[in-house]
Structure 1
Amino acid sequence: MSETHDPVVILLTAGRSSRFLASGGPCHKLEMPLCGLPVLEHVIRAVQACGLPWHVVRSAEGDGMGDSIAAGVRATPNASGWLVLPGDLPLITADSLRKVAQALAWAAIVVPTWHRQKGHPVGFAAQCFNDLLQLTGEHGAASIVAAQDACGNVLRLALDDQGIVQDVDTLDDLKYVETLMSQR
């Protein structure tokens, strides 16, 4: 496999959806209907529209987001970088994905923000490969971001897209997202 010029979007779908189910959700949050499509389908459509290569992590050895990220990176070892995108952000835009990918030209890590809230996808340049492969557990890549931030290698990228922070963790979140979508 040769190195791709664009970073790969790692779409994380392996979570258990425990908070959603605990809030009264009848099934996994990614399968829930939202404006006529499952939550995950909205995210997939944005990823397809952005034009970047992508890889879905459906299951990972271990239980946490760190395990899923490592699995996605392991499956795409020749990528020029990775955009880590949880599958529960149905409002994310293709434009936001492209902007994070482009910003990787200037930093080892790109953290998008909306009104100063950290969002997703977090972008990682190829130099983060070995660190990403070592991830395990629930905390995702927060330790890598913190270490690179201490070295001045993290770019915070302000975006005008609530979709980078508005996830679906509960039934109330789903209702709120549906309201936002109906207003578009």
Structure 2
Amino acid sequence: MQYSHHRQPGCTFLKEDVKKTYIINSNCIYNEGKYELRTVSNSQVIKMTAMRAKCLSFIIENAHLEIIERQKITTALWGSRSHYVNDANLTQILYLIRRDLKALGINDLFITIPRQGLKVNSDIAIIATDSETKGRKKQIVRQTIAALTTVFSVTLGSLMYLHIH
């Protein structure tokens, strides 16, 4: 996995073309590419806005930090316009992310540290699943099936030819 620094030392953000899927607390799946949260059983799916998904991704990717500073989150979300963004905008996005997670049984994924930022709850497991590996495995299975089908067809054809002659 390659990371690119997003103009902020100590913070990482995934390159835009690499989308990951995360399992949160063993019962919730967050898919960056689809902007959705869902239960492992697929019984409930929550579609997120691109901005909420980007914020959740940033929080997850920086969960290793002691505190994720509000200014770093704001810069990650709004870039150079972050200086003009009202603090209430970020507060609202964080509220909506919390609400979505709570609807799927995830309480307190992150807590607010007043006037500083966020701290991710280390008691909640976040596991990144490798979408690229899944895609590669599917490709290998397809190629194997194609090769076996070819071998089977040639063998069957040869047997039929020998049986006829």
Tell whether the structures are fold-level matches, with TM greater than 0.5: no
Q: Which has the higher contact order (CA 8 A, sep 6+)?
A: 1
As a proportion of its length, which structure holds more helix?
A: 2
- Structure-2-length-normalised TM-score: 0.27
- Structure-1-length-normalised TM-score: 0.25
